[in-house]
Structure 1
Amino acid sequence: MKNYAKLLMISTVFAVSLTAQTKDQMVKSIMDETYQNSQLETLAYELMDDIGPRLVGSPKMQQAHDWAVKRFQNWGIEAQNEQWGEWKAWERGPSSIEMVAPYSKSIEGMQLAWSPSTSAKGLTADVIMLPLFKNKEEFNSWLPKVKGRLVMVSQYLSSGRPDYNWKEYATPESFDKMKKETSDAADEWRKSIAVTGETSRTLNEKLEKAGAAGIVSSYWSRGFGVNKIFSANTKKIPVVDISLEDYGQLYRMIQHGKTPKLKINAQSKDKGTASTFNTVAVIKGSQKPEEFVILSAHLDSWDGGTGATDNGTGTITMMEVARILKKNYPNPKRTIVVGLWGSEEQGLNGSRGYVWTHKDQMPNVQAVFNQDNGTGRIANISGQGFLHSYHYLGRWLSAVPNDLTKDIKTTFPGFPGGGGSDHVSFIAAGAPSFMLGSLNWSYGNYTWHTNRDTYDKIVFDDVKSNVATIAILTYMASEDPEKASSEKIKMPTNSRTGEPMMWPEVKEPTRKGGLD
């Protein structure tokens, strides 16, 4: 009996030792493949430069889905496009904006998403500025003046210097003066819009109905040369966004009694309706195939730039993780799913569609790892309100080399995300889901939804760090003998209402978008 017990102890020690050796070898293989045979630059070129921006419903979006499926299949990974809805189909064409009076000048700008086109010859019209209103009657009295004109609908900003530039060089007195003047002007503008009874989303439609020839906006992103590029919100007249610098010049001309005239040529195509998809790739589990580790990123983007950091980097990260795991870990214990979602930008529609369709998977999800905030290396992870997340995430993170994790800040158990990115769709369904938050790299000002979100903003060293980290986390989550707990925290009381706060609810996606 003593010999049996001794043999059992030796066997157990050997098994633990063998498991540790296997883990160490897998981590080494992942690190070697990540840093010595990276495919990230190729994937980034193909997605951002060769395909380009990926607006939901556009031909480019469909091209990206088809490209991703082919890429996965070339790596020996099963993949397909799963339809979740339909969207207005629109294709961006070339656009140009010129000032033709009081003199000729090229204007920096572009048409907004879903903007109606001009004729082939373009549109030439006088420009007027939306004034400040004291009440709705003033607005209604002014409204007939827009007929046949291009209407400037954004607040005038007197300085195109970001705050950090002011803070670095201005005197404290000058900086404080600028901040107060900027704040006061913004308050005055908001109050003026409010009294019209319109919002930034409904104003363009109101001006269109009043006979405006087109809309000119400038949504400055508070960085040198950067503007946010969103949607037109008109049905028949073109909408363009122009740089702060050019917008300011037009405003000052009007203030000094000049009437600038612009020629806009915006060629786009209304292509009716398009089916909308998620690209879903699967590496089937060998021991627990009905349990899932899900790698999450959205494939769609706005189309001011090429969607490089929102969310091209997340997409190529998850694709590269899948490639590396298929090569080095082809028979995972649990099934590994890669979801590249569509229409995250219009309300998490793709991931909501996946959760809605695959409700049966949600109780069996081991973990969802989501990335969607720029090119930076992982800097923070929250437990998202899952009570025991510290225990299993801690185990998985412990296998990642310290060089990759030493600066990662964790918050446990955290609080469930209520919006912002696709992990929220899974959190709502009770699946342990985690946003892998990245270093900022001036994301909010310079690349998030802007005309400068392009390949050159990618920091590949940081993306490689994320690939290695996520690949190791995925391996560890797949191999873990225990099913990760999905027990939730007790939600706190809302200080405003005195009622307990609610866990996010599963929501069905918008199935038909932009079609009204």
Structure 2
Amino acid sequence: MARYLLALLLAAASTHATAQAAAPALIAEIAARSEMQRNLEELCDDIGPRMTGTPGLQRAQEWAMRKLASYGAVNVHLEAYELGRPWQRGRAHARLLNANSLPLNVMQKAWTKGTRGAIRADVALLNVKTLADFNAALPRLKGKIVLAESSPREAPTQALRDAGVAAVLQVSGKEDGLQDMWGGPGQRYDSNAGIITREHANLLKRLLARGITPRLELALDGGFAAKSVQAHNVVADFPGSEPGGEMVILGAHLDSWDLSSGATDNGAGVVTMLEVMRAMRATGLQPKRTLRVVLFSGEEQGLLGSKAYVAAHRDELARIQAVLVQDAGSGRILAFPDMQEEAWYGPMSAALAPTKALGEIDLHYAKGLGSDHETFYKQGIPAFTPLQESRNYRTHTQHSQVDTIDHIDHADLQQAAQVTAILAWGLLDGERLPHID
């Protein structure tokens, strides 16, 4: 027994020593030879928007596979899943026909049918909290362009169509004239639906409050392609030295919205994961577990790519040590949530310990969801996403027309890559994290 305990202590000490040696090498490599800036420019400035189902995303996937292969990845390939009919943006036009006759900042909500030409109708405000109030409001909405400021989540799309509304305008979640974008298969208001900036929504509300009924001209020309298509995830491996097939997955979503070039959402996460693989290869580190990079598509439409990956890889889910996903902009990493799982706290703390040179990276008792790691977490797999300095990510860049490289802080992004690389190495070579039921 004494010899057994000694062997365990020696093994733990060896792992700790390896991690301590790997951390400075990874920090130095990323600081001296990072390719994140160049990769961001190629991805965002050269390729640009990457909405799922579009040629832009296909070009980005081809680019990513070339990069991964050049960084020493093997088994670099695409994995397909059924997307359905892809959505294509068209012209969006809106203007007041009375009052000040201003053009209005309206964009078509993604994954909705267009208006098939210009429509002209009065505006009616929908601001209700309960389903009963929603149903009571329906008769007065017939033939109107509905400014949907608030309605209950359970309010059915079909009810609005049956009520004969002309169109629905939802309000951007951002200020300062910034647009917002969302939508995907199965989401609400799937016909004649637009998103209006908050300031222009307020204009319409002020007119209504003064007894002036705004009348709009609205044209939304986007729509669906004629045929269904497949979407794809990019998958690549940096093989481990030990048999058994255990792996750590580094994930980010390569798709973006199409109002801008998707630099913070989620070009930053993509180039971070590419940089981690590049740095590990460049420093000559050889992990015992396999490092797998997965660049998901369809995240913006409801985690479609990660759901497809989990469904296609059911037989190997038990061999996943952990999943790390970055999808919160380019701010420096401050902490990781432990997902409120006591069994994960110790191994994660050990893997994070060598990051102290980069600041106090805490492990919080918290549960962070909302991106592709959530799909794995729901299968009981240890899956984490960092808490990052928000900068102006939520309020300005995410899903808006200003999601450009101008809003990337490269020093913070470098720190995020260094922290991710060290944590990934600790998970690749460290204690096994248990799965939960």
User: 1:18, 1:70 → 2: CA distance?
Assistant: 33
Give the equivalent residue in structure 1 for 2:137: 139
- Give the C-alpha shift of residue 275 in structure 1: 0.8
Q: Is 1:112–2:65 an aligned residue pair?
A: no
Aligned residues of 1:298 and 1:342 also touching (Cα < 8 A)? yes
Deviations 1:255-296 (A, max 9, x none): 434444433343324213221222111111233461212112
Aligned residues of 2:121 and 2:166 also touching (Cα < 8 A)? no
Choose which of 229, 251, 261 in structure 1 pairs with 2:181: 229
Q: Is 1:217–2:214 an aligned residue pair?
A: no
Aligned residues of 1:308 and 1:454 also touching (Cα < 8 A)? yes
Is the alpha carbon distance of 1:29 and 1:250 closer, same or farther for their aligned partners in structure 2, counting shifts above 3 Å?
same
Give the equivalent residue in structure 1 for 2:384: 434
- SS of 1:105's equivalent in the other structure is coil
Choose which of 349, 364, 379 in structure 1 pairs with 2:334: 379
When the two structures are superposed, what TM-score results if normalisation uses the length of structure 1? 0.71
Q: Is 1:238–2:192 an aligned residue pair?
A: yes
Q: Point out where structure 1 has 5 or more consecutive residues left out of the alignment.
A: 1-11, 156-192, 489-502, 504-516
Aligned residues of 2:134 and 2:155 also touching (Cα < 8 A)? no
Choose which of 298, 302, 306 in structure 2 pairs with 1:351: 306
Give the equivalent residue in structure 2 for 1:5: none
Is the alpha carbon distance of 1:285 and 1:97 closer, same or farther for their aligned partners in structure 2, counting shifts above 3 Å?
same
Root-mean-square deviation (Å): 3.3
- Give the C-alpha shift of residue 131 in structure 1: 5.4
Give the equivalent residue in structure 1 for 2:124: 129
Aligned residues of 2:234 and 2:294 also touching (Cα < 8 A)? yes
- SS of 2:327's equivalent in the other structure is coil
Give the equivalent residue in structure 1 for 2:282: 327
Q: Which amino acid aligns with 1:242?
A: I
Q: Is 1:54–2:54 an aligned residue pair?
A: no
Deviations 1:366-407 (A, max 9, x none): 33222222222111223334444343323322323x33132x
User: 2:84, 2:24 → 1: CA distance?
Assistant: 44
Give the equivalent residue in structure 2 for 1:425: 375
Q: Which amino acid aligns with 1:458?
A: I
- Give the C-alpha shift of residue 349 in structure 1: 2.9
- SS of 2:72's equivalent in the other structure is coil
Is the alpha carbon distance of 1:475 and 1:211 closer, same or farther for their aligned partners in structure 2, counting shifts above 3 Å?
same
Aligned residues of 1:208 and 1:214 also touching (Cα < 8 A)? no
Give the equivalent residue in structure 2 for 1:297: 252
User: 2:301, 2:33 → 1: CA distance?
Assistant: 36
Report the identity percentage. Answer: 30
- Give the C-alpha shift of residue 124 in structure 1: 4.3
- SS of 1:374's equivalent in the other structure is coil
- Which has the larger displacement, 370-379 or 301-310? 301-310
Choose which of 17, 32, 39 in structure 2 pairs with 1:43: 39
Is the alpha carbon distance of 1:268 and 1:287 closer, same or farther for their aligned partners in structure 2, counting shifts above 3 Å?
same
Deviations 1:292-342 (A, max 9, x none): 121122223344444333322222211111122222236432211011122
- Give the C-alpha shift of residue 465 in structure 1: 0.3
- Bigger CA radius of gyration: 1
Aligned residues of 1:289 and 1:333 also touching (Cα < 8 A)? no
Give the equivalent residue in structure 2 for 1:273: 228
Is the alpha carbon distance of 1:209 and 1:475 closer, same or farther for their aligned partners in structure 2, counting shifts above 3 Å?
same
- Which has the larger displacement, 319-328 or 51-60? 51-60
User: 2:239, 2:154 → 1: CA distance?
Assistant: 47
- Give the C-alpha shift of residue 347 in structure 1: 3.5
User: Within 5 A, what are the aligned runs for 1:27-176?
Assistant: 27-78=23-74, 79-119=76-116, 122-130=117-125, 138-144=136-142, 146=143, 149-154=144-149
When the two structures are superposed, what TM-score results if normalisation uses the length of structure 2? 0.83
Q: Is 1:364–2:319 an aligned residue pair?
A: yes
- SS of 2:385's equivalent in the other structure is strand
Aligned pair count?
Answer: 420
Deviations 1:106-153 (A, max 9, x none): 32231110233345xx41413322356795775344243x2xx43322
Choose which of 465, 484, 498 in structure 1 pairs with 2:432: 484
